[in-house]
Structure 1
Amino acid sequence: MTFPSMAQTKLNGAGATFPYPIYSKWFNEYHNLHSDVEINYQSIGSGGGIAQVTAGTVDFGASDGPMKDEQIAAF
């Protein structure tokens, strides 16, 4: 007998280093409650997060400051 594998949802994010410690705890706790969801966050800095979001290489980003008008326009 075979069982269908559980759907796996993977979210990738990048950005600010300041909130990383709390994000890490939140994402781990969320995964403990929802084992089918995996959240990966790379703390590469706000500018890097904005660049990754703008490039479409991550699902979400975090920044300590707002995006500039030209960054929003590029998004």
Structure 2
Amino acid sequence: MGEARRRQAKLGENYGQPEQRIVPWLPITKQQSQDFVTWSTRGAWAGIVLMIVLWLTIRLIGPAFGWWTLAE
């Protein structure tokens, strides 16, 4: 019960009401859209870092194994 009271005190009048949607006919809340933006941004940065690591591996470490040379 303590958690419910704390939540009710924090939310005040909004306690027990559904979250606000972006568009009334679209079942996506504002919080879900913010979470999507957060996760997609993290995923984009992870992809960029992975691409740089892969590029460095192929470009710098690869020639040591004879795959490619730096002076093509």
TM-score interval, normalised by the smaller of the two chains: under 0.3
TM-score, normalised to structure 2's length?
0.24
Higher relative contact order (CA 8 A, sep 6+): 1
What TM-score comes out, normalization by structure 1 length?
A: 0.23
Q: Judging by fraction of residues, say which structure has more strand.
A: 1
